[in-house]
Structure 1
Amino acid sequence: MNIKKGLFVLLGSIMAAGMVGCSSSESNNETGTESAGGDKPTYEFRLAETHAADYPTTLADKHFAELVAERSDGRIKIDVFPSAALGEEAAVIEQVQLGAIDFTRTSAGPLAEFYKGYGVFSLPYVFDHDDHMWNFLLSEHGDELLNELESSRMLGLAYYSSGARSFYSTKPVASLDDLQGQKIRVQQNAVNIDLMDALGASATPMAFGEVYSGLQTGVIDAAENNYPSYYSTRHYEVAPHLILDSHQRIPEVLVISSSTWSKLSTEDQEIIQTAAKDSIEFQRAEWAKFEQLAEEQVREAGVTITKVENVLEWQSKVKSVLDKHGEEHQEILDAIDQYRN
């Protein structure tokens, strides 16, 4: 018995030593580890990103991480995991809520499931143009939306750009009339389905990964997204007709788990919050470059591009969608109106 007891003690000591030496995110999230000087803790956190390593949001994630490392003298390290290495968007958000993942960059769309105010971004033609959107996002009203996520055990740190969504089709489309009756792929939510109905099209919910084959085989006639997604997925190969109506502008959001946030000192919270805000300009610049590249590439590929000159006609057509879904967002819509110029 004494020999067995001695072995158990020895094994326990080895396991404890291994845990002390661990530098994983989970270990550091629990208590932090003391820095060399012994006065401030060090952390290693994980940031989940669904896009590829060279995508504008991923580049901004990395820039954010670099700013945090620099301003904390290397005490706070944030490892960015691109290409959905830590899971797809919806699953990652749940892990952030639980504190199993520290940060994520997500579209504002899925966040409406956690705070309904984010549903305002899915409403059609809410913003007149990109500057209008950013005037709102960078205001106190935009900050309020970020803070409202606290009720869902998360905290919004900053917004990133994702451009404007427009329609592209396998058939020539140069006007609103050309969309009539077309089967258009949409994300599965009531606003998008009602939007297609209002435009006279047929909403066809479908997973994003199935869109290329759907367009190729005729299961759908059209889809909608921003320039970079249209280009990077090569949807232009099977849907070479693009009409720029900019019906939605849904920003990206950089989010931190409330569990992670609560473990940080006021000083470290300030470092992370400021770095996130300071990374916005970098991301917007990277997005603009990629958007321009995408446009140039699809034009060279022979895509027919039509810009909607009279968007009032389109806005009038979807008024029923705003009447039906806008009431619950009226306070935010009134705030958005303040930033028109």
Structure 2
Amino acid sequence: MPTLKFASLTTLAASILMAGTAFAADPITIKFSHVVAENSPKGQMAEKFKELVEKSSVGDKVDVEVYPNSQLYGDDQVLEAMLLGDVQLAAPSLSKFQKYTDQLQVYDLPFLFEDMAAVERFQNSPTGKQLLTSMQNKGLMGLGYQHNGLKQLSASEPLRVPEDAAGKKFRIQTSDVLQAQFEEIDAAPLKKPFSEVFILLQTGAIDGQENTYSNIYSQKFYEVQPYITESNHGVIDYMVVTSDRFWNGLPDDVRPALQKAMQEALAYGNSIAAQENQEAKQAIIDSGQSEIIELTPEQRQQWVDAMKPVWNQFSDEIGQDVIDAAQAANQG
């Protein structure tokens, strides 16, 4: 009996050891949640990251799952879900981080950047890189920036001068800066989830919205918005973000491979962002469903003059040094 009992214990111990080994060998699941279509620049970047990880040296240790079109969470919920460990990667618009840091509001200031090249110069500057770590005390860390593009205004009626927007309801992201931007032109800004925008436009619950050409096209906003004003008044970019706890808890051989894959994926996504916007703009023109209004220099200056007071309104929260660094990026 003692021998049989010992053998049973030995078998049990071996089973536990084997189960533990099998458990340890299970791949690390990374859920990458975002709110736009797969064919958008961000959607393609996320899929490229998944592809690169699968082909990398840690492909058998990591399983990347991409969830587009708000399948898991909207941008307003995903960061809290991340801190709870329900999502490992997300790429919210920079406007969504206000709860965690005031500094990223710099990207929402109207007419701050002259073009996307200036945005990239700022993001590659010491100040831009420092902003990636501005939320670590809240448990979040940025891995890099994904471009979308410059914002245009769409509406149910033509917008040529700021007075045309007065009294109209515009959907905005959750951003106090964007709220102030529209209040400066006597419009009514409404903070609504991205996933609800099409229905709100279609039903006339809102009059307009601001977005890049690629989002306006991929989300079919142009089908329910007869006018698009090419204002280039702001930027929509994203920060790929993860939880500090998750990232620093990764095995030492996994983290560098994921970082490399992410940087390559971001470079890929950013290389096609400008092309995507140009193609989307042309597709909207070809559809004949929405008229693109090109502002004269005088008309555009009226928008600049009307919205620029927002800069001073938020300079203390953002930091004048951050705003100055962003302005300097326009100089090349």
| 1:60 counterpart = 2:60 | no
TM-score (norm 1): 0.82
Q: 1:339 corresponds to which letter in structure 2?
A: A
1:133-152 paired onto structure 2 within 5 Å: 133-152=119-138
1:252: Cα distance to partner? 0.7
1:255-270 paired onto structure 2 within 5 Å: 255-270=241-256
> What is the aligned partner in structure 1 of residue 116 from structure 2?
130
Q: 1:113 to 1:316 in 2, by over 3 A?
A: same
1:245: Cα distance to partner? 1.0
**RMSD between aligned alpha carbons?**
3.0
Q: 1:282 corresponds to which letter in structure 2?
A: Y
Please list the CA deviations of residues 231-257 of structure 1 after superposition, one character each: whole Å capped at 9, or x if unmatched: 222222221111111222131111122
> What is the aligned partner in structure 1 of residue 270 from structure 2?
284
TM-score (norm 2): 0.84
Aligned residues: 318
Unaligned runs of 5+ in 1: 1-9, 23-31, 35-41
Q: 1:20 to 1:51 in 2, by over 3 A?
A: farther
Of 176, 179, 182, the residue aligned with 2:162 is: 176
Q: 1:283 to 1:254 in 2, by over 3 A?
A: same
1:34-183 paired onto structure 2 within 5 Å: 43-83=28-68, 84-183=70-169
Determine if contact 1:228/1:294 at 8 Å carries over to the other structure.
yes
Determine if contact 1:98/1:259 at 8 Å carries over to the other structure.
no
| 1:33 counterpart = 2:32 | no
> What is the aligned partner in structure 1 of residue 6 from structure 2?
none
| 1:333 counterpart = 2:323 | yes
Of 288, 298, 301, the residue aligned with 1:312 is: 301
Q: Percent identity?
A: 23
Distance, in Å, in 2 between the alignment partners of 1:105 and 1:243 is 27
Q: 1:212 to 1:75 in 2, by over 3 A?
A: closer
Deviates more, 1:78-87 or 1:105-114: 78-87
Q: 1:137 corresponds to which letter in structure 2?
A: Q
Query: What secondary structure sits across from 1:294 in the alignment?
Result: helix
Q: 1:304 corresponds to which letter in structure 2?
A: E
1:12: Cα distance to partner? 11
Q: 1:217 to 1:73 in 2, by over 3 A?
A: closer
Determine if contact 1:62/1:80 at 8 Å carries over to the other structure.
no
1:167-246 paired onto structure 2 within 5 Å: 167-246=153-232
Q: 1:50 corresponds to which letter in structure 2?
A: V
Q: 1:96 to 1:277 in 2, by over 3 A?
A: same
Q: 1:46 to 1:223 in 2, by over 3 A?
A: closer
Q: 1:175 to 1:109 in 2, by over 3 A?
A: same
Distance, in Å, in 2 between the alignment partners of 1:217 and 1:93 is 30
Unaligned runs of 5+ in 2: 1-10
